[in-house]
Amino acid sequence: MQEGAATTAYRGRTASIGFAHGPLVRVDQAANAERVAGTLVDEALALRSAIDGASRQIAELAAIAGGEAAQILEFQVALLEDEDFIAAIFASIGEGKPADAVWRSALDAQIADYNSTLDEYLKARSSDLADLRERVLNVLRGGEGQPLKIPGGAVVCAEDLPPSRFLEIDWSAGGGLALLRGSPTSHVAMLARARGIPMVVQLGVIPDSGATALLDGEGATLELDPSAERVRLFEKRRELHRKSRASARAILRKPTASWRGERIKLHINIQGVQDLEHADAQYADGVGLMRTEFLLADHGLPDEETQFQTYDAVLRWADRRPVTIRTFDAGGDKPVPGFTPDGEANPFLGVRGLRLCLARPEIFAVQLRALARAAVRGNLKVMFPMVTSAEELEAGRKLFTEVVQDLQTKGIAAMLPELGIMVEVPAAALAIASFKAAFFSIGSNDLAQYVLACDRSNGALASLMDPLHPAVLELIARTAEHGRRAGAGVSLCGDMASDPRCVSALLNCGLRELSVNVSTLAQIKQTIDRLSSGGSLD
C-alpha cells in the first residue's frame, strides 16, 4: 500500500500526475542583497530601467515558451504596462523612498490582497506577482537573473516556484517538481501538467538532506534516499501507470462499470472545487467524499456563507449526480489551531471527527446551517466521520434537525439531507445494525489502522499495515452485507478503493460502490473491466 511508506516518505497533494526518479535539487530564493539608494532622479531612472529590463526578459521567455506559458507571462507584462499601477509607484519615489523598497511594498500589497480572498484562482495568481517582484528586484540589484542550473531529470524542490523559474529549467530530460507549499491551481501547476512534468504540492516540511528522490505524482508522495526495495516498487508503479494510462482513458468513456452483471458505481474523492477541474472528473458517477477540513486549514473557521458557496459550487458541478459531503474531520493527524484539543497523549484515539464537532456545537452548527441550505440545491448527502456509537449519530441528527427548523422558521430555504456515517471505528463496523443511517461509507485507512493497531504514519509498521488483512476484509464484508439487507448504500472511500490490487477483494466483499481519487478513476474503471471480463491483474 502506498500509505505504508518508509519513514522518509512525505505526502502532499497532486498537482500533476507522473513519476520522477532523480537527484534532489533544492532551489531557494536568493538572499536579499544590499542596495544603496541614490537621488530621486537616480531612483526613478533605476526603477524605469529595471522595469524595462524585466519586460524584455519576460518577453524573451514567452517567445521561447510559447502557447499556454506565453499567456501566463502576459499577465506579468500587462502589470508592468499598467500606467495607473506604475504611476503610483513612481509617486512614492517622488516622496523620497528608495526604488527597491517602493517596488517591493507595492507588489507585496497586491500579493497580500490576492491572498486575502477566498478565491482559489486569485490566490494562485499571487505567485505570479511574487515572481514579477523578484525579477524586477533582481535587475535593480544589478543581477540579470542567473538562470537556474539544474541537472537533467532532477526532482526540483522549493518552497514555491514561480512560472518564469519553471520555464528557465530544462525539463527535456524529464524530472519532477516537489513544492513545500504551492497550489494545484497555480500557473506553475498548469505548466507542469501541460509539459507532463510530475508535480506534488503542499508537502509541508522536509529535511534539507537527501541526495536522491522518488516523486510519485499519482500517490502525491516524495521519498528521499529510498532503499533498493522502495525504488523497485516505485518503478513498478511507474510502469503500471504508463501501460494502463492509454487503454484506461478509452474505458473511462464507457458509460458505466459493471462486474458480474452488476453495476459498480465509481465516485470521486475531492478536497474542493479545484479537484473537479481534472479532465477525468466528468466521468465519475458522483462525489463520494468531499472533505471539508481544508476549509479550516486555509482560513481559520470559515463563516456560513463561505461554506455554503463552496458546497453549492460542487452541487452545481454535479448537476443531478449525488454529492456526499463529510462534516469536519479534524483531530488525529489533522490538527486545527483553535479547534482541536492540544496535548492529547494519543490524538488518533482522542477527541476527533464527530466527537470534536459534538463537543464544539457552536462551530458544528455553522457547518450544518451551510449544509442544510445547500441541501435544497442538489443531490446532497451528508456523513459524519469517526462515529463509535448510535447515540452520536442521533445527537448529530438532533442538532442538524434543529438547525433546519431554525432556518425554515426564518424563511430560509433549507432541508435535512440524507444522513450517513463513516465506518472507520471497529466498534461501528461490528455493531453496524445499531445505526439508523441512510448510507455507510467505509474509511478503510482508519479502519485498518484501528483493527491492526498500527499507526498509519509509522513507517516501521509498513509491512503489518495491510488493509487486505482478513480481519479488515471481514468488517468490510459485514458492513456491505448489512447495507444490502437494510437497503442502505455502502461505499468505500479510503485509499484501498484507489488501489487496483485491492479492487477484486472489495468487490468480493460485496461492495458495489467505490469512491476513488480522481487521478485513479480511469485505472480503477479499467481494473473492474478486466476483472469483469475474467482477466486477472498482471
DSSP string over 338-404 = TTSPS--S-GGGSS-THHHHHH-HHHHHHHHHHHHHHHTTS-EEEEESS--SHHHHHHHHHHHHHHH
- Residue 497 neighbours by CB under 8 Å, 6+ apart: 444, 503, 506, 514, 515, 516, 524
Of 81 and 333, CB closest to other proteins: 81
Of 27 and 122, CB closest to other proteins: 122
Q: Provide, rounded to whole angstroms, the least separation between the CB of residue 122 and other proteins.
A: 7
Q: Provide, rounded to whole angstroms, the least separation between the CB of residue 190 and other proteins.
A: 11
Q: Is 187 tagged catalytic?
A: yes
Q: Provide, rounded to whole angstroms, the least separation between the CB of residue 113 and other proteins.
A: 7
Active-site residue, selected from the candidate residues 157, 357, 454, 493: 493
User: Which residue matches cell numbers 460502490?
Assistant: 513
**Identity of the residue numbered 22:** G
Q: Provide, rounded to whole angstroms, the least separation between the CB of residue 146 and other proteins.
A: 27
Instruction: Give ∠ CA 123-127-129 in degrees, rounded to 5.
Output: 100
DSSP string over 411-472 = T----PPEEEEEE-SHHHHHTGGG---SEEEE-HHHHHHHHHT--TT-GGGTTT--TTSHHH
Of 126 and 517, CB closest to other proteins: 126
Of 82 and 333, CB closest to other proteins: 82
Q: Provide, rounded to whole angstroms, the least separation between the CB of residue 115 and other proteins.
A: 13
Contact 129, 108 (CB under 8 A): no
Active-site residue, selected from the candidate residues 187, 241, 278, 482: 187
Kindly list the residues in this chain that would bind other proteins in the complex (CB under 8 A): 71-72, 74-75, 78-79, 81-85, 110, 113-114, 117, 119, 121-122, 125, 128
Contact 126, 115 (CB under 8 A): yes
Of 74 and 394, CB closest to other proteins: 74
How distant, in Å, are the alpha carbons of 10, 64, 405, 512 from that of 457? 10, 44, 42, 29
Residue count of the chain: 538
Of 192 and 511, CB closest to other proteins: 192
How distant, in Å, are the alpha carbons of 319, 491, 529 from that of 253? 19, 22, 12
Of 74 and 391, CB closest to other proteins: 74
DSSP string over 125-172 = HHHHHHHHHHHHHHHHTT---PPP---TT-EEEES---HHHHHHS--T
Q: Provide, rounded to whole angstroms, the least separation between the CB of residue 248 and other proteins.
A: 27
Q: Annotated active-site positions, please?
A: 187, 493
